[in-house]
Amino acid sequence: MKIAILGAGNLGLSIAKGLIVNNAFTTLYLSKRKVDNIKDYEEYSKVSVTSDNLEAVNNSDILIFAVQPTQLEGILEEIKDVLTDKHVLISTVTGFKIPRIEAIVGEDQFIIRSMPNTAIAVGKSMTCLCSNKKGEKRIAIAEAIFNRLGSSIIIPENKMQAATVICASGVAFWMRLIRATTQGAVQLGFDAKEAQELSMQTCLGAASLLIESGKHPEEEIDKVTTPRGCTIEGLNEMEHNGLSSSLIQGIQASFKKINSISDQ
Ligand SMILES: NC(=O)C1=CN([C@@H]2O[C@H](COP(=O)(O)OP(=O)(O)OC[C@H]3O[C@@H](n4cnc5c(N)ncnc54)[C@H](O)[C@@H]3O)[C@@H](O)[C@H]2O)C=CC1
Ligand SMILES: O=C(O)[C@@H]1CCC=N1
């Protein structure tokens, strides 16, 4: 696959790393206005770095847009006249809806919206996808790309904002939980490095248990909470202090914010 990432910033470079590590492209163009700090990527075979979006588009089939929401319109205007039937447009841009993309490039383009997260850099992104009518014919290509770099599901476009909060912002939420449990471990006597290792691996183990067994979290919690034991003591104290409620309220606040900044 000949892929271009237009907007090689935090997310764009995370996608690039995932593609490079997984050898998941034929050629890869990375575009950015100022390319000095991404020139190193040209050391990888078949990777080109450019500030010329038209060069990237003309030499690629799959166009992944990873610019800020206020930058997408300009870049679509810039490249729309060189789009051909070979191009599949994949936008990762938050809150920029398909009808607005179609209004710029036309309905007759294969348009896909994708919401990955930064774990794509290590091939572990949970990515949600949706498309315009024409894009339904090419969404399998997007699934193939994002399944190489984690897992993907197809959802209706009206759930993309919610998916952004749970999956994209979600990485930051889980990081904070890992940091908090690390701090707890330090207080119990582990040094910082050991504490983070214990916290990360336990988090990975808990998620893996659910992924591999398909079970509900409470079923696994029941196996850990010895009657009158330390686990239920700690868990109940966390809940008295609003653990679940605080997380749900944070998710709601994040969702309210994304709806306030997205196009209608
Ligand atoms: N950072 C994240 O975890 C996630 C971000 N997103 C969405 O992805 C998009 C990108 O986010 P970030 O990577 O965090 O932003 P960023 O600001 O780090 O990256 C945007 C990049 O686009 C470049 N750029 C700006 N105008 C350009 C143009 N005309 N041509 C080529 N490159 C141009 C900038 O120089 C910058 O490197 C946003 O719309 C964001 O909402 C979606 C999911 C997760
Ligand atoms: O925080 C944000 O607004 C963007 C969207 C999801 C991740 N970063």
Q: Which of these three, 92, 126, 155, is where a domain ends?
A: 155
Q: Is 254 in the pocket of ligand 2 (CB under 6 A)?
A: no
pLDDT digits (tens, 9 = 90+) for 230-251: 999 999 999 999 999 999 999 9
Residue 10 and residue 136 in one domain: yes
Question: Residues 132, 98: contact at Cβ < 8 Å?
Answer: yes
Residue 137 and residue 92 in one domain: yes
Q: Which of these three, 155, 173, 190, is where a domain ends?
A: 155
Q: Which ligand is nearest to the CA of 14?
A: 1
Q: Is 94 in the pocket of ligand 2 (CB under 6 A)?
A: yes
Residue 83 and residue 187 in one domain: no
Q: Which of these three, 114, 132, 155, is where a domain ends?
A: 155
pLDDT digits (tens, 9 = 90+) for 42-82: 999 999 999 999 999 999 999 999 999 999 999 999 999 99
Residue 51 and residue 114 in one domain: yes
CATH number of the domain residue 181 falls in: 1.10.3730.10
The tokens describing 47, both together, are: 């990777």
Region of 239 on the Ramachandran plot (φ > 0 left; ψ -120 to 50 alpha; else beta): alpha
Is the complex ipTM higher than 0.95? Answer: yes
Residue 143 and residue 83 in one domain: yes
Residue 142 and residue 24 in one domain: yes
Residue 255 and residue 180 in one domain: yes
Residue 147 and residue 16 in one domain: yes
Ligand 2 centroid to residue 93 C-alpha, Å: 9
Q: Is 74 in the pocket of ligand 1 (CB under 6 A)?
A: yes
d(CA 220, CA 224): 7
Residue 143 and residue 52 in one domain: yes
Count of domains for the chain: 2
Alpha carbon nearest to ligand 2 atom 8, residue: 169
Question: Residues 125, 146: contact at Cβ < 8 Å?
Answer: yes
Ligand 1 centroid to residue 239 C-alpha, Å: 37
Residue 144 and residue 223 in one domain: no
Top mutation candidate among 67, 125, 146, 164 for ligand 1, by most atoms within 8 Å of CB = 67
Q: Which ligand is nearest to the CA of 52?
A: 1
Residue 91's nearest CA partner among 10, 12, 171, 170 is: 12
Residue 24 and residue 121 in one domain: yes
Residue 93 and residue 189 in one domain: no
Say if residue 28's pLDDT is above 90: yes
CATH number of the domain residue 38 falls in: 3.40.50.720
Give the domain range for residue 174.
164-261
pLDDT digits (tens, 9 = 90+) for 189-242: 999 999 999 999 999 999 999 999 999 999 999 999 999 999 999 999 999 999
The count of other CB atoms within 10 Å of the CB of residue 25 is 20
